[in-house]
Structure 1
Amino acid sequence: MQAYYSDHFVLPLPPGHRFSMPKYRLLRDRVEAEAPGVQLAEAPAATDGELALAHTPHYVTSVAEGLLSAAEQREIGFPWSPAMVERARRSVGATGAAARAALAHGVAAQLAGGTHHAYAHKGSGYCVFNDVAVAARLMQAEVHRRWRRLLRVAVIDLDVHQGNGTAAIFADDPSVFTLSLHGARNFPFRKEASDLDVELADGCGDEDYLAALDGALAALWARHGSAPPGLVFYLAGADPHEGDRLGRLKVSAAGLAERDRRVLGACRARGVPVAISMAGGYGRVIDDSVAVHLQTLREAHRAWLAWQAALPAPPMEESLP
């Protein structure tokens, strides 16, 4: 299974900053050591033209050329630097590459991403560009160019925070269905309207969480009838975990593994490829977040193996040495 990383593009953050930059390298180290079925590749950088598929040209230029105001940088949560720009481009590029690989092989992932608080015209909540929004529009363009058909997309956002930027970007786009399962009283405190929002109470545990997920998935498939989407972007946040500093929920690691199995299994049963982003994870013990992300990638690899077993065998001449 293909997965993309960008952790070597590190932001110069001040001491004590709440965003855990080391998490991404720790995750890659564990994938390399413990998940041999996951093939890692460096993320490509998204171009200005690709970013403009989901962001205003003015905002793309402001980020690229260091023209963000102090207030805009505060809303993002990162001080501007060339490293910030490069990392943001790579995060978007990783999701685009994962989506392309998922369309070819069923399942693929990136080891960061899920920057769902970024709007078309601004960043917010540690999100500079919206990787899923750009990748969705890019895959729609590529599919249309190659096969002259519309690629319908669904976003299954299971980060503990609502995907407000994604919801706003696709508010008037019937080709993209946005689903967000999130903490009712958590950031962002002014939420946007997704196609389907499911709010969870503080302290929500495994049983209630999985019941809410089952209902949300059932509604997603029902909305699409007999024609499921052609691609799912799955934001597999680690922040619903009971040990997360910002999550306010009480979902166990086992509960989150079951979450991943249900999402991936439902997509596999319907033949819908899945591109996975890790999204949030702010564990009091950072290794807890890393462990949750790692088990997501393990579940993704199991789903990928199921896809490969079901794919038709190549023609005899292609299998000869």
Structure 2
Amino acid sequence: MIAFHPIYVHELPENHRFPMEKYDLLPRQLIHEGTIEESQFFAPSSIENRYVEAVHCGNYLQRLRKLEMTKKEQRVSGFVHNKTLIQREWTIMEGTRKAAELAMTTNICFNIAGGTHHAFSDRGEGFCLLNDQVIAAQWLLDNKLVSNVLIIDLDVHQGNGSAALCANSSHIYTFSMHGKNNYPLHKQRSDIDIELDDGTKDMTYLNELKMGLERIMKHFEPSFIFYQAGVDVLESDKLGRLGLSLKGCKERDAIVFDFSRQIEVPIVTTMGGGYSKEINTIVEAHANTYRCGYDIRG
């Protein structure tokens, strides 16, 4: 099952660097090519506030809902705030939470949006206002559906918000593999961080990923996985600075899905970033994630 709601496609000012249209194009592409059927989508509602409050600061949430964030805070978040944007965030959060609930029986679920790994307890940044994977992970733990959650974050930018939110949790393990010289300038400490040099190519990247997953299993026994599958690792990405090909990015996805299959745990995948000049490249890379996921775990 795949979470998608029309509110994901939020209207932005002209020339905004966030490629919002991918959230419209990706579902269309997947249906058109037959990778999925329309019946596999579900439209999430708005997440219950209590689930968000389990992770985020109450004062911050109140200011978000009342549109009280300063212009500077909005600029750091990457978006101008309005009621529709805030409703979009609460809907995306429910998309990932519901996907986690469904994955307990289906083994694999997706959210067309999400992967908002730069959101901290009391602030947003980098196009992220709330942290969907940590909210969903905490929901799983609070409801005693799983004992340990692994977050695999392969966006080119470190999952700094996720790392900070989970720093004191013995039941959520954060693994981030990202560009060493890329945003954020001041990085947090994940349970495992692998920092990559500018221009890192397929072979080096994939070998580092395999070794990283092996390291995880020496220290942690996950019973659920969240996968942040950002495609800003591509050589064509305007913000990424790495050197992966489309084939290499697809192989990355296959490694993660095969890892989840081998250890027999459910996995929820969210899309993360992607800023290639050509929107078709972004959509193709994201579509590969779904193709791999359903080939291996579907």
- What is the aligned-residue RMSD (CA, Å)? 1.2
Worse overlay, 253-262 or 195-204:
253-262
**Structure 2 spans left out of the alignment, 5+ residues:** none
Q: Report the residue type matching 1:163 in the other structure.
A: G
The question of 1:256 aligning with 2:253 is answered: no
Q: Report the residue type matching 1:263 in the other structure.
A: V
Q: CA deviation at 1:294?
A: 0.4
Which residue number in structure 2 is paired with residue 174 of structure 1? 170
* Percent identical: 34
Which residue number in structure 2 is paired with residue 299 of structure 1? 292
Q: 2:160 aligns with which of 160, 164, 170?
A: 164
Which residue number in structure 2 is paired with residue 271 of structure 1? 264
Q: CA deviation at 1:35?
A: 3.5
Q: CA deviation at 1:212?
A: 0.8
The superposition leaves residues 98-127 of structure 1 with CA deviations (integer Å, 9 ceiling, x where unpaired) of 111111111111111100000000000000
The question of 1:290 aligning with 2:283 is answered: yes
Q: Alignment length, in residue pairs?
A: 296
Which residue number in structure 2 is paired with residue 28 of structure 1? 27
Q: CA deviation at 1:139?
A: 1.2
Residues 9 and 158 of structure 1: is their aligned pair in 2 closer, same or farther, counting only changes over 3 Å? closer
What is the TM-score normalised by the length of structure 2? 0.96
Aligned mates of 1:257, 1:9 — CA distance in 2: 24
Aligned mates of 2:42, 2:285 — CA distance in 1: 21
Aligned mates of 2:49, 2:172 — CA distance in 1: 22
What secondary structure is seen at the aligned counterpart in 1 of 2:144? Answer: helix
Which residue number in structure 2 is paired with residue 223 of structure 1? 219
The superposition leaves residues 270-292 of structure 1 with CA deviations (integer Å, 9 ceiling, x where unpaired) of 11110000111111101101101
Which residue number in structure 2 is paired with residue 310 of structure 1? none
Larger Cα-atom Rg: 1
What secondary structure is seen at the aligned counterpart in 1 of 2:217? Answer: helix
The question of 1:191 aligning with 2:191 is answered: no
Which residue number in structure 2 is paired with residue 238 of structure 1? 231
Contact 2:8 2:23 in 1 (8 A): no
Aligned mates of 1:238, 1:35 — CA distance in 2: 22
The question of 1:109 aligning with 2:115 is answered: no
Residues 3 and 48 of structure 1: is their aligned pair in 2 closer, same or farther, counting only changes over 3 Å? same
**Structure 1 spans left out of the alignment, 5+ residues:** 145-149, 306-321
Q: CA deviation at 1:91?
A: 1.2
